[in-house]
Amino acid sequence: MTAYTHGHHDSVLRSHRWRTAQNSAGYLLPHLRPTDRLLDVGAGPGTITADLTGLVAHVTATEIGPGELDLTRSTLVERDAAVELVVADVHDLPFDDATFDVTHAHQVLQHVSDPVQALREMARVTKPGGIVAVRDSDYTGFTWRPRLPALDHWLDLYRAAARANGGEPDAGRRLLAWAHAAGLEDVTASSSTWCYATPDERTWWAGMWAERIVSSAIAQQLTESGSATPAELQEISEAWAAWGADPDGWFSVLHGELLCRVR
């Protein structure tokens, strides 16, 4: 079982709650039909899920455990979005073959132990002619300015921690190969980015990471494994604050994305 590197600390959820269908599933939106039955795997805080309910007929959302699903539920209740909620592991989905028109997973495959099996399962529960849609970031593809050494250290530590947990932080570039290995042949690959370059975006992104690197699950993992000392993490946190305060600060987050037509 893969550990989920980010955990569910409030500093993590703050980042995930910023997500919308528009800024995170733009590649999928033109393909959605009002009659579709959609599955959102690993819905997390559920903001993308809530947006999707306005675009299709029926949405089912899954999370890995009941506690995680409660987080999804709280957003959906807040947003008054009707969604069926199910605890499920993407490696073994509790749905019949050919149940959904669209099966979607945003930033999930990078965290799972067997992304090829995950894609096989997503394809199995999707109707022939339906779509499997996945999007994952690619950490080595992140780029930013100013290039503070402590932020290079942050990236090295994050990538090592994600791999130690059985995940793949550079998932974006691997999605196409994983889909082919899962037997998916009709696949359209693309990439897109998030860019943080306004004062508000810098304050939010830097503030979130400044806290996350000293207070969330990854901080505990890095110190307990001896990969970093609390002082090193504090230095990274301060570098994030410095980046956030720089009026020239610019950050780009690369993602790979796939639309797979199921046969």
Ligand X SMILES: C[S@@+](CC[C@H](N)C(=O)[O-])C[C@H]1O[C@@H](n2cnc3c(N)ncnc32)[C@H](O)[C@@H]1O
| Contact footprint for ligand X (CB under 6 A) | 4, 6, 16, 19, 41-45, 48, 63-64, 68, 89-91, 106-108, 111-112
Give the whole-angstrom CA distance, residue 184 versus residue 150. Answer: 40
Q: How far apart are CA 236 and CA 240, in angstroms?
A: 6
- Do you know the residue count of the chain? 263
Q: Residue 188 burial (CB < 10 Å; 0-12/13-18/19+)? A: middle
With respect to ligand X, which residue has the nearer C-beta, 173 or 234?
Answer: 173
* Alpha helix stretches (DSSP H) within 79-229: 115-124, 149-164, 175-181, 199-215, 217-224
- Residue 186's nearest CA partner among 176, 201, 199 is 176
**Structure-token pair, residue 40:** 């959102």
For the bound state, the minimum distance from the C-beta of residue 68 to ligand X, rounded and expressed in Å, comes to: 5
Which of 219, 239 has the CB closer to ligand X? 219
Please report how close the Cβ of residue 37 comes to ligand X at its closest, in angstroms: 18
Angle in degrees, CA 162, 166, 167, rounded to 5 = 50
Q: For ligand X, which is the closer residue by CB, 89 or 235? A: 89
Task: Decide whether 115 or 130 has the Cβ nearer to ligand X.
Answer: 115
- Kindly tell me which of 170 and 249 has the beta carbon lying closer to ligand X: 170
Please state the φ and ψ torsions of residue 103, each to the nearest 5 degrees.
-120, 120
Minimum distance from residue 15 beta carbon to ligand X (Å): 9
Q: How far is the CB of 65 from ligand X (least distance, A)?
A: 7
Minimum Å distance from CB 32 to ligand X? Answer: 16
- 144 has which bridge partners? 251
Minimum CB distance to ligand X, residue 5 (Å): 9
DSSP for residue 33: -
* Residue placing its CB nearer to ligand X in the complex, 62 or 237: 62
